[in-house]
Homo-oligomer: A and B are copies of this chain.
Amino acid sequence: MNVLIVYAHPEPTSFNAALANHSAEALRADGHEVVISDLYADDFNPVAGRHDFSTVADPDRFHYQSEQALAASKGSFSDEIRREQERVLAADLLVLQFPLWWGGPPAILKGWFERVLAYGFGYVDGARFDTGLFKGRRALLSVTTGGTTARFGPEGVYGEVDRVLWQTQRLTLQYMGYTVEEPFIAYGTPRIGDEGRKGYLDNLASRLLDIASKPVDRGIRPTDPLALVSENAWAKQG
């Protein structure tokens, strides 16, 4: 299986880094291909803008989706975006490894969604959720949090995990068609000690090996997603 781990933490000695690296080693030892996109190390720019493209659809008014649609049809995304898109395209399994900051992924990862998973690449009108372009593939969130399990329980102040991760799991990954695996969450990481951290490292590795043994189908995605959309449908659906 081809696996892409998108990893978003500024500190190379962090527990997040350990989780990303340990996952990659375990998967490789099991015969899988693994690529890590290390967003902080790559100095990934999370801000959407004209620098995303070498083409211009409208020089007077910046409409992001229109510029993305043109770039998807012309192959005119910036090198940084194209590299990430090629990695996403090659991956049967997408793993997002990040610390929960203000209840969600760090901005550097949120901006990776916005810029890389562009209109015409990540989604098009009329191909979402059950008909999403990445149907047949799997995705997993692997998250660390300072909060305890109880805080994310039915009575917890943060709300249940499904609600906390809704934006990323439902409105990003499932929206694109991915089958989203039960999220892996390392709770209370500042206070669990080496033993606790080792337990999480091992559990994540075994979760990943299990997921990597499940069936996937990378062949569903159309080679030209924009061909699915008539001008008409786009104008109607916006």
Contacts and interface: CB of A to CB of B under 8 A. Distances in A.
A157 interface: yes
A104 interface: yes
Interface in A186-238: 188, 190-191, 236, 238
Interface residues of A, number: 45
Interface in A111-138: 111, 113-114, 117, 128-129
Q: Nearest 3 A-B pairs (CB), nearest first?
A: A103-B171, A190-B238, A107-B111
B62 A11 contact: yes
Contacts of A158: 170-171
Contact of A110 (B102, B159, B163, B191): B102
Interface stretch (A18-26, A28-36, A44-52, A78-86): A44-52
Copies in the complex: 2
A115 to B, nearest CB: 8
A146 B191 CA distance: 42
Nearest to A170: B159
Contacts of A105: 110
B164 A61 contact: no
B61 A13 contact: yes
A114 to B, nearest CB: 5
B10 A64 contact: yes
Interface in A45-82: 46-49, 61-64
Residue from A61, A105, A166, A191 having most chain B Cβ neighbours under 10 A: A166
B62 A10 contact: yes
Contact of A107 (B10, B47, B236): B47
B102 A172 contact: yes
B102 A171 contact: yes
Contacts of A63: 11
